Structure 1
Amino acid sequence: MPKYYGCPCEGCGQPLTLRDDIVVCPDCGAPYHRTCYEKLGRCIHSPAHAAGYEWKFPYQENELRTCPSCGERTLRSEEHCRCCGAKLPPEGAEQPNDRAEEEQNFDYASFYRQFEEGNVPDPLKEAYQAAFGKEEQMDGISCKDWNAYIGRSAPSYMTTYSRMELTHSKIAMSFSALLFGPFYFFYRKAWKPAFGFLFAELLLSAPYFIDMLQITGSSLSPGLSNSALLMLSRVCSFLGFLLMVLRGMYGKWLYRKSAAARIRRIQNEFPDAEQRRAVLSAQGGTSLAAVFGSLALLFVLGSAFTLLLGPNMQALLDIVSG
């Protein structure tokens, strides 16, 4: 479990929440609000550091329970979660042994319909309010407009964005963006990152294209030695791996920024709420056609590249077949 959320700040004694900027003493591990630590100028336990003092988690396991809104551990003796501020339901209202039966009987159609209508069920509503305020606005856009634009995946994305907002982080792992690259962004209609990552992938494939030009004896082939081409290939492979990792870590954040820009444009054009959400639903969501369109674009670019190859195509065919 997180070591500091819900614990009292060693400076002011107030609980450390998911929204706080937390700093930790590098010598003993005591947690503080950043403002408290800067005001004190040092750790209050610094006189004991030389003797080997180490801060210890102040609560026993039997004093804690899991908050259903944020998933963090908080004191069972309090009515509100010390981590996110959400009101805690009575203990025993949901028994762990009943989870499988509840999940089996859960009405997903009704759940998604509530999101489409903007009626976010608890405890998600409390989590959204903890993250985005009572108005439930993210990046200046209402929760209802976000739900209309994202579509059926809105519960998952909005929960992720709530966690990102509470932890002041832009990182949320997206395995779809990690594995499928630019096609993830085409699928989610995030055009700027889609074309940006597609261009980067093509650019990092330059050693492969140069090698094909040299093999076929093209007059456009740059005069690179084998050792220089090998070094360029290794550098591009490393950059490609780094790009893949960054894409997976920041994919959902990039989608959020792209979606917010499109939603704002639609809001300016359609001030009427009902009409606006109809347009958001039509222009948002996902698109398999965009994925197939990007594949067709790659096919056209590949065909155009073959026009640049030299006359010695047989050498290339021998390498491919052999």
Structure 2
Amino acid sequence: MASFVGQECPVCHQKFGDSEQIVVCPECGTPHHRACYFKEGRCANEARHADGYVWEPEKLPGQEQPGAQAPQDSPATGGDPSQNYQIPCPHCGAANPQGASFCISCGKPMSSQQESAFQGVGFGGFQFDQQAIRYGGVSPTDTIDGIPVADMAEFIGPSSGYYLQAFKRMDISGKKLSFSWSGFFISPLYTLFRKIWPLAVLCLLFTTVMNLPTLISLFESGGNLDTMMNMLNSDRFLTFSYISTLLMMVYRVVFGLFSNYFYRRSVVSKMRKIQEKGLPREETLALYRKKGGVSRAAILILLGIYLAASFLMVLALDI
């Protein structure tokens, strides 16, 4: 098999020897000493991935096509390669992680494995299959806010591809804007469903207060709360109604623009707290799934409260 002998490791800047173990970045093809890669925890050229960087070997006299023996561990997880390395290289047949652009064994492009490709902003091509659905075109070996994408997908759960793509766009651009229709139309349900608990409470309180004019009008039409209505000046009531309508419109637009950013902050904060515990890998993943994911129970409870409140309101109007 061809080798990277004579090429330079971008971490220690030493030439590769004939019998050294080498890890090849599956995204850009950069070779590293195995020890150097694990010391850094990432590709030395990771900052250049967003620009579509591809490693080119230094041309040496009599040098054959660069390649190297596949490492024993996955550079992304450090675990059992059989759990993550499933795609055969079309050139040498070595197992590679899904979404790899370059073979970790021979270093050649995995282009024939990417016939159905989608070009994302700074993400490169990816095969439109379960890999694309789970990671949204972002390489699972990449990071967002210093957290591995594969780990973040475990935490997010359903619709992870959509959020990872949105988070990566924000990470690359440095911007906080990322419009969400769910955040625009149903912010209380959105925040509850995604377990953003403090923000969910604020959303519920705000929307309830802003809907008070409607609730008061319903009670008034039923002949109830006459004393309260007599205390309210009609001009003030109309002014409050107009202001609340305007504030709700502004609230919807702002929340639609920033809801993905709020969710990203929540995800990163919770994951870092879990990482600080220093638990074994399996326990950490279990906590990701427990603390992350979605809460359908919270949605059902809220809907139950709304139905109960509506029923009590109807009863009050009939009294």
Partner of 1:87: 53
* Superposition TM-score, scaled by structure 1 size: 0.54
Q: Which runs of 4+ in 1 moved over 4 A?
A: 97-100, 300-307
Q: Whose helix fraction is larger, Structure 1's or Structure 2's? A: 1
**CA distance in structure 1 between the partners assigned to 2:297 and 2:165 by the alignment:** 27
Q: 2:160 aligns with which of 154, 160, 167?
A: 154
User: Quick one: structure 1 residues 204 and 172, their matched pair in 2 at CA, closer, same or farther if it must change by over 3 Å?
Assistant: same
The structure-2 alpha-carbon separation of the partners of 1:246 and 1:125, relative to structure 1 and needing over 3 Å to count, comes to same
Change in Cα spacing, 1:268 to 1:294, as seen in structure 2 (3 Å) is farther
The CA deviation at 1:151 is 1.6
Shift of 1:244: 0.8
> Structure 1's 301 and 267: CA in aligned 2 closer, same or farther, altered over 3 A?
farther
Larger relative contact order, structure 1 or 2 (CA cutoff 8 Å, min sep 6): 1
Equivalent residue for 2:250?
A: 242
Where does residue 174 of structure 1 map in the other structure? Answer: 180
Asked if the contact 1:160/1:172 (under 8 Å) is kept, the reply is yes
2:139–2:149 Cα contact (<8 Å) kept:
no
Summarize the Cα distance change of 1:236–1:289 in structure 2 as closer, same or farther, 3 Å threshold.
Answer: same
Say yes or no: does 1:284 pair with 2:306: no
CA shift, 1:82, in A, is: 9.2
Report whether the alignment pairs 1:141 with 2:147: yes
The alignment of Structure 1 onto Structure 2 pairs a total of residues equal to 213
| Amino acid paired to 1:190 | I
CA distance in 1, matches of 2:286, 2:168: 24
- Counterpart for residue 138 of structure 2: 124
Please point out which of 169, 184, 194 is paired with 1:188.
Answer: 194
5 Å-filtered alignment, 1:1-322, equals 84-87=50-53, 106-108=128-130, 124-125=138-139, 129=142, 136-138=143-145, 140-215=146-221, 216-218=223-225, 219-221=227-229, 223-269=231-277, 271-302=279-310, 313=317
Using a 3 Å threshold, how does the CA distance of structure 1 residues 222 and 290 change in structure 2: closer, same or farther? farther
Which amino acid in 2 is paired with 1:184? Y
User: Tell me, which stretches of 5 or more residues in structure 1 are unaligned?
Assistant: 1-67, 70-80, 130-135, 317-322
Amino acid at match of 1:107: D
Structure 2 gap ranges (5+): 1-26, 29-46, 55-100, 102-107, 119-124
What's the CA shift for 1:212?
Answer: 3.6
CA separation of 1:196 and 1:217: change in aligned 2, threshold 3 A? same
Once residues 129 and 116 of structure 2 are traced to their aligned partners in structure 1, the CA distance between those partners, rounded to angstroms, is 16
Question: Could you tell me the TM-score, scaled by structure 2's length?
Answer: 0.55
The answer (yes or no) to whether the contact 1:210–1:222 under 8 Å persists in 2 is no
Specify the alignment match of 1:36 in structure 2: none
In the alignment, the residues of structure 1 paired with residue 213 and residue 255 of structure 2 have an alpha-carbon distance, to the nearest angstrom, of: 22
Q: 1:232 to 1:166 in 2, by over 3 A?
A: same
Q: Tell me, in whole angstroms, the C-alpha distance in 2 between the residues paired with 1:86 and 1:217.
A: 67
> 1:21: which partner in 2?
none
Pairwise CA RMSD of aligned residues? 4.0
Asked if the contact 1:175–1:248 (Cα under 8 Å) also holds between the matched residues in 2, the reply is yes
Question: What's the CA shift string for 1:116-162, capped at 9, x where partnerless?
Answer: xxxx79x7339x85xxxxxx251x53333312101242222122111
Shift of 1:259: 2.0
- State how far apart, in whole Å, the 2-side matches of 1:202 and 1:230 are: 17
Change (3 A) 1:275 1:201: same
CA distance in 2, matches of 1:85, 1:178: 32
